[in-house]
Structure 1
Amino acid sequence: MKNLLLCVLVVSVSLTVDAQIEIPQPSPTTTIKQEVGLTDVTLEYSRPSMRGRTIFGDLVPYNVLWRTGANSNTKITFSQPVTVGGTELKAGSYAIYTKPGESSWDVYFYTDTNNWGTPQEWDDSKVAAMINVPSLEDAMTTETFTLSFDDLSNNGATLGIKWANTYVGVPFEVPTDKMVTSAIDKVMNGPGAGDYYAAAVYYYSSDKDINKSKAWMEKAMSMMKPQFWHYRQMSLIYAKAGDKNAAIDAAKKSLAGAEAAGNADYVKMNKDSLKEWGAM
């Protein structure tokens, strides 16, 4: 019995020790982050190696859907909408699937990124974009599967897929010009309502020039459809500027809006101020 218990203990200890041993993964994962124009793009994927095997047409069959890497989905994330093959992809994450061919590949951007490998059931409605691109022979052999961002410009880049002696480039466009043009137009047209409002509130709360705060608040209110919280700040600025009648008028508008919205906090704050200013 003692010998039996001793053997069980030895086996248990051995299993415990084995469970604590870490070994390298055959297809290690990697993450690449790249700024393309004003768009942040992130790639997350696993990297299998050739290890003497024939890759395309054998390990990776032609004209069969491939996970494009190893293990879980190869995933690409865009911080802004981008365009692939004339199709706009919304900002967000996509799984990259491919169907390698001898002369060209079909490349799919798939909205479901929670698959291990390829989906058990392919859903065409989840294909956000598909593009067919040439497959090029590469004179240099790439031992380990590699994704890269190539041909970077302000307006786009090429997602490079490289393994063995094959290179595939997937071009995509980013909305840099649209974003910069919009920013230029905004600046050149002067501050917006939000800018005037933020400046007014900051000057009020920081005990800076209250007359500037008042002027900016009036400008902001003239450029927007004011809500009850806007009128609340306006009433406080008027009161601090010594214009009690205008403060009371703004507080009453804030109170009415807060009551309509069922916002008890603003109802109480406005009633307290109106009592303080002798209007209730």
Structure 2
Amino acid sequence: MRNFKFCLFILAIWLCGPVAMAQHFNIHNPIKLPAKSQKAMIMQRIGYTDITISYHSPAARGREVWGKMIPYGKVWRAGANENTIFTITDDVIIEGETLAAGSYGLHLLPEKDQWTFIFSKNHTSWGSYFYDAQEDALRVTVPVEDTNEYSEWVSFDFNKRDRGEATIVLGWADKKATFGLSLDIDKIALENIRLQLRSDAYWEWFSWCQAADYCAEYGINTEEALEWVEKSIALQENFSNLDVKAKLLKQAGQETEAEKTIARAIEVGNHIYLERYGRRFLNKKDFEHAEYLFGEALKKDKTYWRAHFNRGNALKGMGKSKEAQKAFSMALNYAPEGAKAQIRNSMEAN
């Protein structure tokens, strides 16, 4: 009897052994199964700066979330599974505090009336199980809001996306909280532009013109931008870089030089550039200046229908109906078939 039981024991080991061994040796090569808490990622670019949040999004599934499933006063991973990771490619300011470029484990310390977002230097650990306050790079505390719509899934979003700033909201169930983020977009942009101008862009007139025009558009870095546009003009003088130079000179308060420069731009510009330039004044309802520029465009090419058409619009704005009709008629004469209906509508409305 004892031998019989021993034989059964040996048989069991023999039958189970391969399974046990397979389980042991295959543990290093598990298959990947669909995650219950789906992986999500959200990214926003502000200027040259990328802001990315990578997280797993658990569902409420009928459970009471805040104060129950997610206890108050205890650090939570702001998602599910491994760390929620917050990555920025440049230094930013979050709620008035600077956070250096890099990747951070994003955790949340929820309370009933406020939430504290924690940016940890450790972004490689699993969830918040290994969270250590000594690794904090930044903590910001913001008020909690009740939501109008119930959110089944944890979600991050960018609610405000302006030049140089954004707001990031974390919402789940019936609560949400938002923190503000900003950056020195002009400083970062100029650093990037300067580096690009030291590459192949150095030999292109358009690159220097682009760089200068960016400064003109936002009213920044005028002195250096004037140097950039002069390099563009030295490579190839044209309407575009002279136009940018004129804008920068006005920005610098050099009105007389700006007028001389724009006169030169009109002299060298072709009919297409002059018509486009005229439209700027047409949109501002500066009809006299616009009409003059459309006339200059037609001196370069009397068959350019757009210049005739917009000259008609400028004349109409000046109250010169008969002259406007003549201009529209000329536009109708030279325009392609697809544009004639638009011209006829303007003629009828004149």
- TM range, normalised to the smaller chain? 0.5 to 0.7
Task: Specify which of 164, 181, 187 is matched with residue 173 of structure 2.
Answer: 164
Indicate how the Cα distance of structure 1 residues 24 and 119 shifts in structure 2: closer, same or farther if over 3 A, else same. closer
Indicate how the Cα distance of structure 1 residues 151 and 121 shifts in structure 2: closer, same or farther if over 3 A, else same. closer
Between the aligned partners of 1:147 and 1:53, the Cα distance in structure 2 is: 20
AA aligned opposite 1:69: G
Residue in 2 aligned with 1:32?
42
Residue in 2 aligned with 1:133?
142
Q: CA deviation at 1:20?
A: 7.8
TM-score w.r.t. length of structure 2: 0.48
More helix by share: 2
Residue deviations 1:198-252 (CA, integer Å, cap 9, x gap): x9xxxxxxxxxxxxxxxxxxxxxxxxxxxxxxxxxxxxxxxxxxxxxxxxxxxxx
AA aligned opposite 1:132: T
Q: CA deviation at 1:179?
A: 2.9
Which consecutive unaligned segments of at least 5 residues does structure 2 have?
Answer: 1-6, 194-214, 216-220, 236-350
Residue correspondences, number: 191
Query: What does 1:153-192 correspond to in 2, within 5 Å?
Result: 153-180=162-189, 183=193, 184=215, 185=221, 188=225, 190=227
Between the aligned partners of 1:121 and 1:140, the Cα distance in structure 2 is: 32
More strand by share: 1
Indicate how the Cα distance of structure 1 residues 79 and 101 shifts in structure 2: closer, same or farther if over 3 A, else same. same
Contact 1:85 1:130 in 2 (8 A): no
Percent identity of paired positions between Structure 1 and Structure 2 = 26
Between the aligned partners of 2:103 and 2:30, the Cα distance in structure 1 is: 34
Residue in 1 aligned with 2:71?
61
Q: CA deviation at 1:178?
A: 2.7
Between the aligned partners of 2:62 and 2:188, the Cα distance in structure 1 is: 47
Between the aligned partners of 2:76 and 2:30, the Cα distance in structure 1 is: 33
Between the aligned partners of 1:139 and 1:88, the Cα distance in structure 2 is: 32
* 3-state SS, counterpart of residue 178 of structure 1: helix
Between the aligned partners of 1:64 and 1:5, the Cα distance in structure 2 is: 46
Between the aligned partners of 1:161 and 1:38, the Cα distance in structure 2 is: 24
Which consecutive unaligned segments of at least 5 residues does structure 1 have?
Answer: 200-280
Residue in 2 aligned with 1:100?
110
Q: CA deviation at 1:32?
A: 2.0
Task: Specify which of 122, 137, 141 is matched with residue 132 of structure 2.
Answer: 122
RCO higher in structure (CA 8 A, sep ≥6): 1
Between the aligned partners of 1:117 and 1:168, the Cα distance in structure 2 is: 20
Higher mean alpha-carbon deviation, 111-120 vs 43-52, is at: 111-120
Indicate how the Cα distance of structure 1 residues 88 and 22 shifts in structure 2: closer, same or farther if over 3 A, else same. closer
Q: CA deviation at 1:170?
A: 1.2
AA aligned opposite 1:54: E
Residue in 2 aligned with 1:215?
none
Query: What does 1:1-280 correspond to in 2, within 5 Å?
Result: 23-118=33-128, 120=130, 122-124=132-134, 126-180=135-189, 183=193, 184=215, 185=221, 188=225, 190=227
Between the aligned partners of 1:171 and 1:177, the Cα distance in structure 2 is: 18
Residue deviations 1:172-212 (CA, integer Å, cap 9, x gap): 11221333466543851536xxx9xxx9xxxxxxxxxxxxx
Higher mean alpha-carbon deviation, 84-93 vs 175-184, is at: 175-184
Indicate how the Cα distance of structure 1 residues 167 and 121 shifts in structure 2: closer, same or farther if over 3 A, else same. closer
Pairwise CA RMSD of aligned residues? 3.2
Kindly name which structure, 1 or 2, has the bigger radius of gyration based on alpha carbons. 2
* 3-state SS, counterpart of residue 190 of structure 1: helix
Between the aligned partners of 2:140 and 2:13, the Cα distance in structure 1 is: 64
